[in-house]
């Protein structure tokens, strides 16, 4: 499968397109980001200097399923993650009478640990969409 990645640096106004990323590099890419450092720098910066929460997006180019992972401070001074699951999905409208394709259907899960995120990334890599549907609602 072919994946692409992008990164939102809180201090840069443009999203950084990382391009093609191999399956074997995805988890390492997530774990190598200095999430705590970004959050510490953000806590000391003026609001006008911050454009985004630090975020990594990984997308399966073949089926357009993707995860966006954002880091935030937790109550204990650690890092917790929000994970957004984007995918095409048929959604019901007008009391279920009409179904339409939403190409960017989005659900999220909050307060996830690093291990939770690694499990979600592993599911994306393995195309385990049932796991992602259950985990990220």
Q: pLDDT for 114-137, tens place per residue?
A: 999 999 999 999 999 999 999 999
Q: Give the global pTM.
A: 0.93
Q: pLDDT for 3-58, tens place per residue?
A: 999 999 999 999 999 999 999 999 999 999 999 999 999 999 999 999 999 999 99
Q: What pLDDT shows up at residue 120?
A: 99
Cβ–Cβ under 8 Å, residues 117 and 108: no
The count of structural domains within the chain is 1
- pLDDT tier, 102 (very low <50, low <70, confident <90, very high otherwise): confident
Cβ–Cβ under 8 Å, residues 54 and 70: yes
Q: What pLDDT shows up at residue 16?
A: 98
Give residue 129's domain range: 3-135
Mean pLDDT, residues 104-120 taken together: 97
Q: What pLDDT shows up at residue 94?
A: 77
| Residue 76 clears pLDDT 90, i.e. is over it | no
Q: What pLDDT shows up at residue 73?
A: 94
Q: What pLDDT shows up at residue 109?
A: 98
* β pairing state of 16-21 and 55-60: unpaired
**Reading across the β-sheet that carries 79-93, which strands appear in turn?**
16-21, 3-8, 55-60, 66-73, 79-93, 98-112
CA dihedral 41, 108, 5, 29 (to 10 degrees): 60
The strand pairing partners of 3, in sequence order, are 21, 60
């Amino acid at each position: 499968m072919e994946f692409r990645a992008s990164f939102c640096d809180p201090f840069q106004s443009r999203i950084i397109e990382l391009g093609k990323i191999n399956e074997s590099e995805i988890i390492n890419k997530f774990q190598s980001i200095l999430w705590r450092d970004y959050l510490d720098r953000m806590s000391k910066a003026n609001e006008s200097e911050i454009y985004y929460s630090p975020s990594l997006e990984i997308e399966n180019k073949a089926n357009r399923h993707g995860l966006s992972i954002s880091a935030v401070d937790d109550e204990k001074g650690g890092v917790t993650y929000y994970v957004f699951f984007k995918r095409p999905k048929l959604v019901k409208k007008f009391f279920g009478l009409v179904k339409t394709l939403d190409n960017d259907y989005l659900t999220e899960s909050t307060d996830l640990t690093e291990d939770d995120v690694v499990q979600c990334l592993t599911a994306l890599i393995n195309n385990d969409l049932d796991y992602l549907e259950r985990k990220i609602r």
